[in-house]
Amino acid sequence: MVREIVIENFRCFSSQKLSGLQRINVLVGPNGSGKTALLEAVFFVCGLSPELALRVKSFRGLSALSVMQNKEGYESLWKDLFHLFEQNREIKIFLKMDDHAERALHISYQEEVEQILAVGNIGKSPDTMTAITPISFVWKLQPENKVVPIIPEIHPEGLKFRPSEPFAALPGAFFAHTNTVPPEELAKFFSGLSKRNEETEFIQSIQSVYPEIEDLSIQFFSGMPALFASVKELPEKIPVNLLSAGITKLLTILLGLATHRNGIVCIDEIENGFYYETMPKIWSIIHLFARKYNVQIFASTHSWECLQAASEWVERVPEDFTLIQILAPNRHKSIAMHSGNAFVSAMAHHLDVR
């Protein structure tokens, strides 16, 4: 479990250190303060590939990215990762975990590495070729004492990411508020749960919030596997994606926790899609699954009702909760860390911690 995060020169963070992290960590703060950026930082370090940096762009609505075969186009893919676009400074993200384990990601341009020539310039004279300095993503793992660099390579068909050697990812998932997990992915997650004979508790947890759900199963929809629900008073099963945003989101979160055992799950705007009266029960179920599968959660929210609901179960297990309050949406950010007990006290006195 991550106990400390150190971030340098990443997105809106010049230099930040977060300590006292617990199983469930909730981020609050104004729009543009860096909540999503912090989630992305954690997600990047979990992964295995620079492709994650492009994937989160699609979560933010930039899905149609093309690789321009020149220096400007290449650097535009990564420029926004650097604080104030300062690409001459290295990005450093450290996750310090239990038992002195550490996972770090360093991102920088490798001036000393042989330059990549844009594929579109092949066949031209050297005087007219455009040189591209490659960017390097380097994962450093302790106590394995392993260093794994990956340099995105330009090819006619696009970018390729080739690790110098295989290494184990820290199981991680990122659920963006703007992105819906494809039905076939939900079916795949549920299939894995069912193969382990763990679907009964999962279905019962869903029913405790949405009692109209009688059962869940995998069926085919337009030739693709999808998760279907048997619903009271409906003559046929229906894809869960067609039921409601809240049901689909709870299914997604719980399946994500069950699928990423011993890992990290990041959830942007966790309250979206949920009716406020269901939030206390939803928080308790999320906490139950996080403990069962030994998953650490980082989640952002803007909602007072969501925080109020969280305080009801945090009061019972304050040791499993930390509130991360980003106080200033500017260059010199201030982050306050609040324990579970401090959070419960603040909510009891109606202090707005958002």
- The candidate with the shortest Cα–Cα distance to 159, out of 45, 46, 68, 82, is 68
**Alpha carbon 308 to chain centroid, angstroms:** 24
Mean pLDDT of the region 217-241:
95
Domain final residue pick, 127, 145, 168 = 168
The whole-number pLDDT of residue 34 equals 93
The whole-number pLDDT of residue 47 equals 83
pLDDT above 90 coverage of the chain, percent: 69
What's the rounded Cα separation, in Å, for the pair 340 and 331? 28
Domain final residue pick, 112, 143, 168 = 168
Q: Is the pLDDT of residue 122 over 80?
A: no
The whole-number pLDDT of residue 160 equals 79
Residue 253, CB-side half-sphere exposure with 13 Å CA sphere: 31
Mean pLDDT of the region 283-309:
97
Query: Residue 73: which pLDDT band, with cuts at 50, 70 and 90?
Result: confident
The whole-number pLDDT of residue 262 equals 95
Structural domain that includes position 93 = 48-168
Q: Is the pLDDT of residue 255 over 80?
A: yes
Mean pLDDT of the region 15-41:
95
What's the rounded Cα separation, in Å, for the pair 66 and 68? 6
Question: Both 201 and 335 in a single domain?
Answer: yes
Question: Both 133 and 273 in a single domain?
Answer: no
The whole-number pLDDT of residue 119 equals 47
Question: Both 84 and 179 in a single domain?
Answer: no
Residue 32 lies in a domain: no
Question: Both 266 and 332 in a single domain?
Answer: yes
- Long-range contacts at 216-223 (CB < 8 A, ≥ 24 apart): 216/190, 216/240, 218/187, 218/190, 218/191, 218/194, 221/183
Q: Which residues are 336's β-sheet partners? A: 325
CATH assignment at residue 313: 3.40.50.300
Question: Both 164 and 257 in a single domain?
Answer: no
Query: Residue 169: which pLDDT band, with cuts at 50, 70 and 90?
Result: confident
Q: Is the pLDDT of residue 208 over 80?
A: yes
Question: Both 205 and 314 in a single domain?
Answer: yes
